Chain A
Amino acid sequence: MSTHNQVLETVEDYQGTDATSCVSTGGFEGFKVEISRRGFVRMLGAGLLITVTEGVSLAQRRGGGSQQPSTVVARLFINEDGTFTCLSGKVEEGQGARTELSQAAAEELRVPFDRVRLVMADTNVVPDDGITAGSRTTPYNVPPMRQAAATARELLERLAARQWQVDPDGLEVRDGKVTNAATGQTLTYAQLAKTEGVDEMFRQRVDGGIALTSVDDWKVMGQPISKPTHRDIVLGRHRYPSDIVRPNMLHGKLLRPVSYGATLESIDLSPAQAMKDVVVVRDGQFVGCAAPMVFQARKALEAIAETATWKTVPHPSSREISTYLKEHARTDRARPNARGSTETAFGGAAKTLSETYELAYIQHTPMEPRAGVAEWTDGKLTVWTGTDGPYRVRGDLARAFGLRDDQVQVIVPDMGGGFGGKHTGEAAEEAARLAKAAGRPVHVRWTRAEESTWAYFRPAAVIECKGALDSNGSLIAWDFTNINAGGAAIDTPYNIPNTRILSVSSDSPLRQGAYRCLAATGNNFARESFMDELAAAAGADPLEFRLAHLQNERIRAVLVEVAKRFDWPARKKKVTPELGVGLACGTEKNSVVAACVEVAIDRRSGEIKVLEVGEVFECGPVINPANLTNQVQGCIIMGLGGALREEMVFADGKILNASFSRYLVPRFDDVPKIDVYLLENNDIPSAGGGETPIIAIAPAIGNAVFAATGVRVRSMPMRARQLRSALA
């Protein structure tokens, strides 16, 4: 059996190459970028003509997510009307990167938000900013955008100073206009854009040490600005990857194995070959059909799939996954992070507790499944696809087809969700193979069943926890082992003198990869649930017990705040066997979160209904409070799914619930009363906020269930049947 143990949370750098000719649909309707072989950039659709050379290709030669482009023009340039075009290798999938990067540029350029247009994720146009993952856009991509914009502003000031023959220090820029306070003279950006030497200016290097606007002076950053695409979205005009149409395009469907690890032994292609307008492709295990209509391609594929014979292999089921992961744990490779002596501490403890938590595989189920359009022109490949890693996919495609990187262009239109689930480019590669054989562009859109079977999953896990209390009820030892899910947020933020913390890999039977906050969710669930168990063993209030062991000021602040807003002490007194309250906190990716929840328990069915969630989150200065509120609310509700219902059910190498009718994600009637509070902290740089708010919700629910029932459900999801049988 094949092993799929690729936890895709690292952020690699990729080398870029020179720009060549391209047309991008970008994220905007009616907005196109053209780059000629000479590196001449033109904005079409906005009535703008830009004369910039070298910059983009120079930036791409430097490449690499961590290596920022050296010239201003590689990051942004001024258009003739005084607006700016900015370039980012990040993708937009609903998380708000397009808005915040545009805000960052507008802030430092001293222009209103609508004078900045951002071109994203087109490998022929934008720098390689690395994969969009790990809440990295805010801490790692916003600052360079600001530096380039601030440098551009200074360059334009200098240009004005040169015209006026004055010292630039006496000039001021506001609202896209340079003013000489001494003389009252002004020059607008539009005027400066037409000035001799502006192109030369923008080829200068970005000043990495340039002073950036302090948070107190922010005018565009910090504002609740809507996404630039929102009007197109409500009109149905925004083109997602699955909406891309190319002239003469076919739709493709792929033959999928009957089960994981199955190999195709024989297939009769003739039923599909006999169909009108259908192209049938077989290359070893790769079998697909393409036709002018999706329906035709599907019928053709179904006709030949019926004739296929397969060699299958044994595959473990979800029922036995915990045992399987433990049996295949690679303890020989793991190195614990240890402090003090847990062995001694456990030996001398007044009380010890030992429990095991379990985590199921879950799927991201973004609303838009994978989609890719591929088009071959003169041996070069262009794809439009939904992926977090445009440069990674470019490299994958180049390798798959024996091309140089500069022969492949990957364009990512703003796409329909990802949540860590779209780091790869399967649909693009499948479309490219079919398109190559058909000699026409091909569009492959995965079905929901394909997305839920052949993409990848958040890892399942077994987490073993052991804790010891002294006679005062203080936590003196902590032993924590995560098998399979990974080490994100595995270290305890609590002050415990003796700790042993271990992340152990295993042989995952399912293909696994990134997910919103990945292992941090499982690690925080087990840790915060077990802290609650220890608090109960110590006879302490869960809030007091945590605070007694917590020195991290930021976590303390959100925990105290959420408890205050929720009225924790009073609410705790009102707990009944049917109504519980619980709390949890945590930290990951340089942000902190705490949540209080109230749950109702149906003691006969074991159903848990979350009635109310209060969550306080802090991630440094907030760049866009409306977007961040969306993200926190989204994390809370997405967190309900993993906490209560979502799990991949599989047996004999087949996913048994690869559909929205059987894989139960949160719906309207699951939404509790939600209070989100963003705690201000302007003393640190902004951190990303799209992931960490998910980690507190599951343990807070579990703790509330315990408060009401005395039953501890040690799994994600916390299944109704588990609670029902425990209460019976």
Chain B
Amino acid sequence: MEVTVTLTVNGIERTITTDSERPLIDVIREDLQLTGTKEGCGEGRCGACSVLMDGQRVLSCVTAIVQADGKSIRTIESLAQGNTLHQVQEAFLAEGAMQCGYCTTGMIMTAVGLLEANPRPTDEEIIAAMRGNICRCNGYTKILNAIRRAVGRPQEVSAI
């Protein structure tokens, strides 16, 4: 069934007429050509598709477009201001916390969602928030360090 939804994506209001069941990720990637949001599983179990919806991290591959009606969506493309990276992006670079990088944007968006809700998370809180994000290059150690760095905490395992 076709519906018309209005949503704000990275600060720009968009009106989209499309099938009501279509996942948010398809609209982001195909209609808006924001390909920084990745699909890894299509069932909300890997976190690669993480975006922020009204400040909450959601899994865009299992979010139907109708659920985003009237909401404000932020994707990875919204984080940097000109040449200035977001602190979480900077921290991922500083720690070298990526290998293939396919999970990275979802990791960063999940971490940003966490830090906006909880600016000083403990390791346990970081791990609980990040548990839904899979990295198959298995760079979890450096990703954890990157998030510690982003909140100004020392990294237990030093980056080489």
Residue of B19, B48, B75, B102 ringed by the most chain A CB atoms within 10 A: B102
Tell me if B99 and A634 are in contact (CB < 8 A): yes
| B52 close to A (CB within 8 Å) | no
Tell me if A94 and B99 are in contact (CB < 8 A): yes
Once the chains are docked, how many angstroms separate the CA of A103 from the CA of B101?
20
Tally chain A residues at the interface, Cβ within 8 Å. Answer: 63
A629: B residues at CB distance < 8 A: 160
Question: In the complex, what's the smallest C-beta–C-beta distance from B93 to chain A, in angstroms?
Answer: 6
Question: In the complex, what's the smallest C-beta–C-beta distance from B97 to chain A, in angstroms?
Answer: 9
Given A236-B77, A367-B135, check contact A668 B104 (CB 8 Å).
no
Once the chains are docked, how many angstroms separate the CA of A667 from the CA of B33?
30
Once the chains are docked, how many angstroms separate the CA of A224 from the CA of B76?
26
Tell me if B40 and A367 are in contact (CB < 8 A): yes
- B127-154 interface bits toward A, Cβ cutoff 8 Å, 1 = contact, 0 = none: 1101101111111111110000000000
Residue of A236, A449, A637 ringed by the most chain B CB atoms within 10 A: A236
Given A93-B100, A95-B99, check contact A368 B40 (CB 8 Å).
yes
Once the chains are docked, how many angstroms separate the CA of A306 from the CA of B40?
26
Given A366-B100, A668-B131, check contact A637 B140 (CB 8 Å).
yes
B127: A residues at CB distance < 8 A: 668-669
Given A236-B36, A416-B101, A448-B40, check contact A665 B133 (CB 8 Å).
no
Interface residue from A233, A239, A667 paired with B104 (Cβ < 8 Å)? A233
Question: In the complex, what's the smallest C-beta–C-beta distance from A298 to chain B, in angstroms?
Answer: 10
Tell me if A367 and B48 are in contact (CB < 8 A): yes
Once the chains are docked, how many angstroms separate the CA of A312 from the CA of B137?
37
Interface residue from B22, B45, B100 paired with A416 (Cβ < 8 Å)? B100
Q: Give residues of chain B (88-133) contacting chain A, Cβ–Cβ below 8 Å.
A: 89, 92-93, 96, 98-105, 108, 127-128, 130-131, 133
Tell me if B108 and A293 are in contact (CB < 8 A): no
Tell me if A637 and B101 are in contact (CB < 8 A): no
Binds B, one of A240-248, A348-356, A506-514: A240-248
Once the chains are docked, how many angstroms separate the CA of A295 from the CA of B29?
12
B76: A residues at CB distance < 8 A: 235-236
Interface residue from B22, B34, B36, B99 paired with A630 (Cβ < 8 Å)? B99
Interface residue from B36, B46, B128 paired with A237 (Cβ < 8 Å)? B36
Once the chains are docked, how many angstroms separate the CA of A243 from the CA of B104?
15
| A415 close to B (CB within 8 Å) | yes
Chain B, Cβ-Cβ closest to A96: B99
| B67 close to A (CB within 8 Å) | no
Tell me if A671 and B45 are in contact (CB < 8 A): no
Tell me if A236 and B138 are in contact (CB < 8 A): no
Tell me if A94 and B160 are in contact (CB < 8 A): no
Tell me if A668 and B45 are in contact (CB < 8 A): no
Tell me if A660 and B98 are in contact (CB < 8 A): no
Tell me if B35 and A294 are in contact (CB < 8 A): no
Question: In the complex, what's the smallest C-beta–C-beta distance from B108 to chain A, in angstroms?
Answer: 6
- A586-600 interface bits toward B, Cβ cutoff 8 Å, 1 = contact, 0 = none: 000000000000000
Tally chain B residues at the interface, Cβ within 8 Å. Answer: 59
Question: In the complex, what's the smallest C-beta–C-beta distance from B125 to chain A, in angstroms?
Answer: 12
- A108-125 interface bits toward B, Cβ cutoff 8 Å, 1 = contact, 0 = none: 000000000000000000
Chain A, Cβ-Cβ closest to B86: A234
Tell me if B101 and A630 are in contact (CB < 8 A): no
| B55 close to A (CB within 8 Å) | no
Question: In the complex, what's the smallest C-beta–C-beta distance from B80 to chain A, in angstroms?
Answer: 6
A626: B residues at CB distance < 8 A: 96, 159-160
Given A226-B96, A661-B43, check contact A633 B35 (CB 8 Å).
no
Tell me if B77 and A224 are in contact (CB < 8 A): no
Chain A, Cβ-Cβ closest to B159: A626
| A659 close to B (CB within 8 Å) | yes
Tell me if B43 and A417 are in contact (CB < 8 A): no
Tell me if B138 and A368 are in contact (CB < 8 A): no
Question: In the complex, what's the smallest C-beta–C-beta distance from B45 to chain A, in angstroms?
Answer: 4
Once the chains are docked, how many angstroms separate the CA of A668 from the CA of B103?
13
Once the chains are docked, how many angstroms separate the CA of A626 from the CA of B141?
13
Tell me if B131 and A366 are in contact (CB < 8 A): no
A227: B residues at CB distance < 8 A: 98, 101
Question: In the complex, what's the smallest C-beta–C-beta distance from B8 to chain A, in angstroms?
Answer: 18
Tell me if B45 and A367 are in contact (CB < 8 A): no
| A267 close to B (CB within 8 Å) | no
B80: A residues at CB distance < 8 A: 235
| B157 close to A (CB within 8 Å) | yes
Tell me if B134 and A660 are in contact (CB < 8 A): yes
Once the chains are docked, how many angstroms separate the CA of A448 from the CA of B49?
13
A229: B residues at CB distance < 8 A: 101
| B60 close to A (CB within 8 Å) | no
Tell me if B144 and A234 are in contact (CB < 8 A): no
Tell me if B131 and A630 are in contact (CB < 8 A): no
Once the chains are docked, how many angstroms separate the CA of A376 from the CA of B108?
37
18 A-B pairs with CB atoms under 8 Å apart are: A94-B102, A95-B99, A224-B160, A233-B98, A295-B26, A367-B102, A368-B40, A368-B102, A369-B40, A417-B100, A445-B39, A448-B43, A631-B99, A633-B141, A634-B137, A637-B138, A669-B128, A671-B141
Residues of B within 8 A of A (CB): 19, 21-23, 26, 29-30, 33-43, 45-46, 48, 75-77, 79-80, 85, 89, 92-93, 96, 98-105, 108, 127-128, 130-131, 133-144, 157, 159-160
Which 8 residue pairs across A and B have the least CB separation, nearest first?
A: A236-B36, A94-B100, A416-B102, A637-B138, A236-B76, A233-B101, A94-B99, A660-B45
Q: 7 other contacts beyond A227-B101, A633-B142, A660-B45, with CB at 8 A cut-off?
A: A224-B160, A234-B104, A235-B36, A240-B102, A419-B136, A633-B138, A668-B131
